[in-house]
Amino acid sequence: MARPDKAAAVAELTEQFRSSNAAVLTEYRGLTVAQLKTLRRSLGENAQYAVVKNTLTKIAANEAGISTLDDLFNGPTAVAFVTGDPVESAKGLRDFAKDNPNLVIKGGVLDGKALSADEIKKLADLESREVLLAKLAGALKGKQTQAAQVFQALPSKLVRTVDALRAKQDEQGGAE
């Protein structure tokens, strides 16, 4: 029978997996407490970084319906539970790992889909959601402006064509 403290830990981890948009597993071997504190700050407000026990976390992930991470639960493991923009947290992890090679990104899950360490690094290379939405809005506005110019040009061109035809008829009528 499971001990109550372990059952509570599994229940808490299961809830974190269920309520998170993404979870990134890392190996933190060799990092100091101060470095871990800096890492937690670099992840942003919408992510929680927790050092976990592999067996309990594996059970919790499976209870949350995530079985794709089973192979990653070995060695000292910590999980970044992301409830906000996963790109921001992925950038925080990538940038911290550049400065601190002891942090190794093992892999993770995003909206139920398993991600490899390379995919998480590619996710970090994306621009934030707000920037992508702003670019999309700018592109749509540009297309609307082009469409408006085309619609304005059509009547103007028609008027010029009619005027040219009238002028040509006047010349031909006057020449006869």
The position carrying tokens 């670099």 is: 42
17: Cβ contacts below 8 Å, ≥ 6 apart: 23, 60, 61, 64, 66, 81
pLDDT at 162: 83
Backbone angles phi, psi at 113, to 5 degrees: -100, 130
Task: Give first-to-last CA distance, the chain, whole Å.
Answer: 112
pLDDT at 81: 92
Averaged pLDDT for residues 54-66: 88
pLDDT at 157: 78
What's the chain's average pLDDT? 83
pLDDT at 1: 40
Both structure tokens of 71: 């192979």
pLDDT in tens, 97-139: 888 888 888 988 888 888 888 888 888 877 766 777 787 787 7
Measured CA to CA, the distance from residue 131 to residue 145 in angstroms comes to 21
Q: Which helix H or strand E contains 78, and what residues bound it?
A: strand 77-82
Edge-first strand order for the sheet with 22-27 is 47-52, 77-82, 22-27, 104-110, 113-116
Averaged pLDDT for residues 13-27: 89
Confidence category of residue 174, pLDDT binned at 50, 70, 90: low
